[in-house]
Homo-oligomer: A and B are copies of this chain.
Amino acid sequence: MNALNPADLRLLSHTTSDGVTTRELLLGDVTATLWSPEHAAPGTPLVLLGHGGGRHRHHPSMSGRARLLAESGFRACALDVVGHGPRPGTPYDDEQVDLLRAAFETDEPLGPVVEPYNADLARRTVPEWRALLAGLLAVPEIGAARVGYWGIALGTAIGVPLVAQEPLIGAAVFGLFWSSSLVDAARRITVPVELGVQRDDELVPFADGLALYDAFASTKKSLHVNAGEHAAFPRFEAASAVRFFERHLMA
């Protein structure tokens, strides 16, 4: 893998619909999308969106959050993690996805497969996010914006090490991931954090959510626990995340 040069960021097509401008981006082989409120001024705060495992930057979970953010005056940006969307994976990625499917089918715990695989995806994706962010902030129309990060599940597995390394990120929303691969990075995070977990999560034990919450060094940190299994994560947590970014990136 060659190091990405932020100056190589290319802003491709853009379309505007219902007050939101959607612009396709390319940095090396990293495909990404930037959503902005129409006529957004330089310095408009920017939230990086990390997609979940098996999803991609144009999944409705990304475009839906981007629209919520744009309607509240934020820009949002999502990239495709390697092996997701149009980006091919390596034979190692294919093997890991097969292992994951097998664990699902045999009802084995997913953590022992997901945690090391997603940690590897994080090692590959964190430098991509940092180069993309540097490239974005160098675009005059984007300017020196305040930056947040919002990602659940795989988006948390990548986001926790990203926020620990990237000093430009000033607030982060995470959720629904195991703790053992993340607590070391979480201990280096001091910016405000909101973490969402499910009390009856059949995949990620509740104790992992509490351990991850406790690991953050942030003095401002909220844990939102909701009833139900993994997939019952409520939609109103997205509105809560937007208000969290309003408090920390707009005040």
Interface of A toward B, CB cutoff 8 Å: 199, 213-214, 218-228, 234, 236, 239-240, 243, 247
A248 to chain B minimum Cβ distance, whole angstroms, is 11
* B236→A227 contact, CB < 8 A: no
A218, B226: Cα distance in complex, Å:
11
Residues of B within 8 A of A243 (CB): 236, 239
Q: Of A214, A222, A239, which is in contact with the most chain B CB atoms at under 10 Å from its CB?
A: A222
* B239→A225 contact, CB < 8 A: no
A239, B242: Cα distance in complex, Å:
13
A239, B247: Cα distance in complex, Å:
12
Among candidates B214, B221, B226, residue contacting A221 with C-beta atoms closer than 8 Å: B226
* A223→B225 contact, CB < 8 A: yes
A65 to chain B minimum Cβ distance, whole angstroms, is 17
Residues of B within 8 A of A239 (CB): 243
Q: When A236-B247, A243-B239 are in contact, do A224 and B224 touch as well, CB less than 8 Å?
A: yes
A131, B12: Cα distance in complex, Å:
66
Q: Of A218, A226, A227, which is in contact with the most chain B CB atoms at under 10 Å from its CB?
A: A227
Q: Which 6 A-B pairs have the closest CB atoms?
A: A223-B225, A221-B227, A222-B226, A224-B224, A219-B227, A236-B247
A227, B247: Cα distance in complex, Å:
16
Among candidates B214, B225, B234, residue contacting A213 with C-beta atoms closer than 8 Å: B225
Residues of B within 8 A of A224 (CB): 222-225
* A218→B222 contact, CB < 8 A: no
A221, B234: Cα distance in complex, Å:
11
Q: List 8 A-B contacts (CB under 8 A).
A: A199-B223, A219-B227, A219-B228, A221-B227, A223-B224, A225-B225, A236-B243, A240-B240
A218, B227: Cα distance in complex, Å:
9
Residues of B within 8 A of A240 (CB): 240
A51, B225: Cα distance in complex, Å:
25
Chain B residue at minimal CB-CB distance from A195: B225
